[in-house]
Structure 1
Amino acid sequence: MAKKLGLDTVCVHVGEVKDEQFKGAVSPIFMSTSYQFTDVEVRRYPRNYNTPNQESLSKKIAALEHAEAGMIFSSGMAAISTTLLAFLKSGDHMVVQNTLYGGTSNFIREEFPKYGIEFTFTNGYDVKDFEAAIQENTKVVYIETPSNPLLTITDIKAVSALVKSKGLLSIIDNTFASPINQNPIDFGIDIVVHSATKYLGGHSDIMAGAVACSDEHMHAIWKKAANLGGNLSDFTVWMLERSMKTLVLRVKAQNKNAKALAKFLEAHPDVKKVYYPGLKSHPEYKLAKSQMRGLGGMLSFELNNDLDALIFQKELKLIKATMSLAGVESTMLSPYMTSHGSLSQEERDRIGITNGLIRFSLGIESKADLIRDIKQALKTTKKLIKTEA
């Protein structure tokens, strides 16, 4: 039924917990950590990811990603690490896209050697780069598109076709796009992961992760997850389900703001470069249009060399210079100090993350107010730098 419903309807109605007792309009919360085990169809236990709220929200995740099954976790990294460890063991090899979230990269570099799992970061993000990195013991190919924070676009269909031809497993981080803008499973990807802290939550007040895939793959993930224990409290599950009801409305507004601000920044004399797949100047603009319904609410940019990115962010009045992204409020940060702070300077330089790069997460505010804030911050920054000189 969910596939026949519109996206807005899926967000509002699929995965609700029915209030059978009082007929309330919203899902009730079941906070119990102890459920009856006799004469029941399901023996429920929070660490088994099968409480009423957990089970229902997983259906919404699956419906939005056009998957057979979904599962929610305590964070994006819990979802990613559990999924990877479910399919990789000592002696296996994984191919990893070189442009991806720093937390994922750091997890792979620090933890995989302890398990005897081998990995290769690609030289680029073209399908030929992935093919060149595949080895005899490769089991998984991991991609992220759009990537964090450079907004590179990987050809999902081409990579998934390559992976299937080799009999391997494909995993994608779909956080930056959200299921509103992109559904990788429709292009042949096996498993989709999300930091649900971002667009799915959307209000900067909860931390969560999500996975969507086939029933078969989910069974393997569930077995690993039950052992690792990265499940979510039912109150947070309830908050996430509540937040996702407005997912379409929020993402569409953020898409619109991102496109407008990307154009503004690209034309501004104080801006050196803008990274946004919705700009025709983006090298993968046509590819992005072919696999995304909307071009996203995220962009990155670099100021001219004579301007200090940190001073600029401190002078913002409306846009918040804070960590994380995808909330209803617009935020900026410096990736080299935050999302990619765990990488060395050499590693950041190799993938193009400069100390002057600013990641810009668009909220739902008026675009005129956002532009006004950037203008005043740039003006003040130039004055401060001139005074110091």
Structure 2
Amino acid sequence: MKYIETSLIHTGKEFNTTSSVTPPIYQTSTYYAPENPEEYLEMAGEISPSHFYHRHGNPVNNQAAAVIASLEGKEAALMTSSGMGAISTAVLSIIEKGDHIIAQNAHYSSVSMLFREFLPSLGVEVSFVDQADNEAFQEVIRPNTRLIYLETPSNPILTITDLSFVGKLAKEHGIVTMCDNTFASPINQRPGDFGIDVVVHSATKYLGGHSDLTAGVICADKEFIAKAWKRMIILGTSLSSFDSWLLLKGLRTLSLRMERINSNALQLASWMSEHKAIKQVLYCGLPSHPQYELARKQMKGFTGMICIDVAGDDEDAQFKHAQTILNKLVLFTNAASLGGVESLIVHPASMWGKHHTKEQKLKAGISNGLLRISVGIEHINDLIADFDQAL
């Protein structure tokens, strides 16, 4: 299929062997074995078999995986029970004791903990670099570097990584690259087009789009997905059948949702950039963003994520100002997560406060006045009016 909108509706239909237009929910943990012992033996050795045992795979999981693999331009995909399930499964499919990873200063909070605490306890070394500095990646490469892990735009402050540069650099050194594409979505960006080997998502966010499920996905070539699947069945990170059914339903409207979300975010960010109560607006679709040209080069749309730094004479004043705005907003709900049809807002310094030191927060660009906004599909005039009264 040539167009994304068509692929979202029709890819993976072969996994629905019923006459139902909407695939059924396979609410079962196991399946009857074929009468032929040889057929059962073959099924037991397959990667992601549809009708063997739920932890190994199920029809709706496989259909959702086919849709997302197609979106990312990859050969295959693997569904997991959460975004962190996808990331940890994928990373642990590559590295072993004595290996070295290159990561960024700015990552999703739990990913930072994975790299700063968990992996070093297994004997894995991790170097952290400024993702906006291409040379920084090159300078820390070692003979034992096995993985370069990226996130672009980064959570929360939307810093951009040059995917083409890192993809080419890694290929020259035989290093695997992995990119978290959650903030962009495959509608706005496809890391594989720039030479990135593995793409991961928290499918809880834009891919599901309705804040009603928790899921993750790994997209790569068939060889890597086979490795990741073996790791997944050991770690037990498989996706539930009901969540995969919800995800498949959400995927059908992804292109429509992202079109509205991209438009709303750009208009809201533009309005915010003129407001005196806001010290800085961070949105990669604004020419004021320090990496705007790079974002234009590798993104088709600029996502629904905005960060603002509110005005204040010092950190305490900024903190109080941010909390006042949170309390006054009506349509923007103060809640964790992002990428749903409803607009959400969080105060990252509070949400991640106990997971990072003050120094680590500053390195990641998280100040007391920072607010992270996930723009939904409501009417833009209502969204602007809500911020206008709160500010």
Q: TM-score, normalised by structure 1?
A: 0.93
Equivalent in the alignment of 1:336: 349
Q: How far, CA to CA, are the matches of 1:73 and 1:338 in structure 2?
A: 24
Residue in 1 that maps onto 2:49? none
Q: Deviations over 1:252-306 (max 9, x none)?
A: 1100001001101001111100100100011111111111111111110011115
Q: Does 1:46 find its partner at 2:54?
A: yes
Q: Distance in 1 between matches of 2:374 and 2:215?
A: 18
Q: Structure 1 pair 46/340, CA: closer, same or farther in 2 (3 Å)?
A: farther
Contact 1:18-1:28 at 8 Å conserved across structures: no
Deviates further, 311-320 or 157-166: 311-320
| Aligned equivalent of 2:87 | 80
Q: Which residue matches 1:387?
A: none
Distance in 1, Cα, partners of 2:124 & 2:169? 22
Name stretches of at least 5 consecutive residues in structure 2 with no aligned partner.
45-51
Aligned to 1:381: none
- Tell me, what secondary structure is at the counterpart of 1:175? coil
Q: Any conservation in 1 of the 2:210–2:341 contact (CA below 8 Å)?
A: yes
Alignment partners' CA distance in 2, 1:279 and 1:125: 17
Amino acid aligned to 2:53 = Y
Aligned amino acid, residue 374 of structure 2 = S
Cα offset, 1:351, TM superposition: 2.4
Shift of 1:24: 2.5
Q: Which amino acid aligns with 1:343?
A: H
Corresponding position: 1:10 with 2:7:
yes
Shift in Å at residue 328 of structure 1? Answer: 0.3
2:306 alignment partner in structure 1: 299
Aligned to 1:358: 371
Cα offset, 1:20, TM superposition: 4.7
* Alpha-carbon spacing, 1:124–1:32, altered in 2? closer, same or farther (3 Å): closer
Residue 130 of structure 1 is matched in structure 2 by 137
Q: Deviations over 1:315-338 (max 9, x none)?
A: 111111111111100011011122
1:249 aligns to 2:245 (yes or no) = no
Identity over aligned pairs, percent:
42
**Aligned pairs for 1:275-294 within 5 A:** 275-294=282-301
The 5-angstrom pairing of residues 309-324 of structure 1 reads 309-324=322-337
The CA distance in 2 between the partners of 1:29 and 1:56, in whole Å, is: 12
Q: Which residues of 2 match residues 13-28 of structure 1 at below 5 A?
A: 13-16=10-13, 20-21=17-18, 23-28=19-24
> What is the TM-score with the length of structure 2 in the denominator?
0.92
Shift of 1:350: 2.1
Give 2:29's aligned amino acid: T
Shift of 1:36: 2.7
Q: Hey, what does 2:361 align to over in structure 1?
A: 348
SS of aligned partner of 1:370: helix
CA distance in 2, matches of 1:161, 1:128: 13
Query: Does residue 1:161 correspond to 2:174, yes or no?
Result: no
Task: Specify the code of the residue in structure 1 equivalent to 2:389.
Answer: Q
8 Å CA contact 2:153, 2:159 repeated in 1: yes
Q: Within 2, Cα distance between the matches of 1:186 and 1:284?
A: 19
Contact 2:16 2:59 in 1 (8 A): no
Once residues 251 and 17 of structure 1 are traced to their aligned partners in structure 2, the CA distance between those partners, rounded to angstroms, is: 27
| SS of 1:95 mapped into structure 2 | strand
Q: Which runs of 5+ in 1 are unaligned?
A: 379-389
Name the CA distance, whole Å, in 1 between partners of 2:222 and 2:334: 41
Q: How does 1:150-189 map to 2 (within 5 A)?
A: 150-189=157-196
Give the letter for the 1:28 counterpart: P
Shift of 1:18: 6.0
Segments ≥4 residues shifted beyond 6 Å: none
Whether the 8 Å CA contact 1:101–1:339 is kept in 2: the answer is no
Kindly state the Cα deviation for residue 223 of structure 1 after the two structures are TM-superposed: 1.3
**What is the Cα deviation at residue 15 of structure 1?**
2.4
CA distance in 2, matches of 1:72, 1:81: 13
The RMSD of aligned alpha carbons is 1.4
Match among 144, 147, 166 for residue 140 of structure 1: 147
Tell me the equivalent position of 2:265.
258
